[in-house]
Amino acid sequence: MTVALLANGGKLHRLSEAAKFLPTRPNASTIWRWATKGVRGVRLETVRVGGFHYVSEEALEAFLEATNEPTQPVAPVKQPRTAKQRRESARRAQAILARAGI
């Protein structure tokens, strides 16, 4: 991906400058964390040149799009059984056990 960042022709910015392109201006340490650890399994693409890490605006945009994709829908929460349902289930289980001679 390093070659893609350089070959794309986009201007590279130091990680500390990348916050200027975002509306909330996250701290540089946040952008560093995005590059090293990632978010939801997605890492920010960077390139290291002369001891500094750089990111392109395109890579930052791709990272934000990937991390903001809708997640899988959460399974609906199963409602707990009512007291009547529990009693009926216990009665059926006892009847089955009685028929089996247990």
35/26 Cα distance (integer angstroms):
13
CB atoms within 10 A of CB 19: 16
| Token code pair at residue 9 | 């022709």
70/66 Cα distance (integer angstroms):
9
Per-residue confidence in pLDDT tens, the chain, 102 aa:
555 555 556 788 998 888 888 888 889 899 999 999 998 889 999 999 888 899 998 999 999 998 887 766 666 778 899 999 999 999 999 999 999 998
pLDDT of residue 2: 53
The conformation of residue 47, written as its DSSP 8-state character, comes to E
